[in-house]
Amino acid sequence: MEIQILHWFESLHNPITDPIMYFITTLGNGGIFWIILAAAMLIILPKRYKKVGLSMAIALILSLIFCNGIMKHMWARPRAFWVEGQNFVISNNFENLYGIFQTIHDYSFPSGHSSASFAAATAIFMWQKKEGTAALVLAALIAVSRLYLTVHYPTDVLAGTITGIIYGIAAYYITKLLMKKIPAMNKIFNI
């Protein structure tokens, strides 16, 4: 079933959506977009965003440790395009243009892009519903882009999404606990 879903996504490839999906997926590379956003909230944006930035940073650290550091190695699931006999027919032009398959060297399960994106977006949503909703939409687009590019199975993306949401919620409560237990943190991060 998962392979059929990936073949369906593969059938959607065209010169218009290919660069869009590639751009969307690059926003999740290494969590860099979310890291920059968290740093901006901590350093540049008004004080009311500082606790949001702290929650995002904690969520991203949780995702890095548990998703990328532990779960990927524990499951060691090969990428869909690594498995012989899958017959993905991503055009040579697409692969030659973006070289995406040549840049991926880690395991597939769970999706790190989905985990980090949903961790950060959920952390935002827990504090700021309006901005968080926009962040969740972006996280969903990043997750879908991983399927479109056939670099993850659907269950990889689903597991990354679920774990990311858990990390984002956990980070929210960790931040609240830190602000409650450490007066100096409350002074810095609370409005």
How confident is the prediction along the chain (191 residues), in pLDDT tens digits per residue? 888 888 888 888 888 998 899 999 999 998 999 999 999 999 998 888 999 999 999 999 999 999 999 999 999 888 776 665 555 545 455 554 455 555 566 777 999 999 999 999 999 999 999 999 999 999 999 999 999 988 889 999 999 999 999 999 999 999 999 988 887 877 777 75
Burial label for 129, CB within 10 Å (0-12, 13-18, 19+), is: exposed
What are the structural domains, with CATH classification, of the chain? 2-189 (1.10.606.20)
Q: Between vectors from CA 151 to CA 150 and to CA 153, what angle results, nearest 5°?
A: 75
Q: What does pTM read for this prediction?
A: 0.87
Name the strand (E) or helix (H) holding 153: none
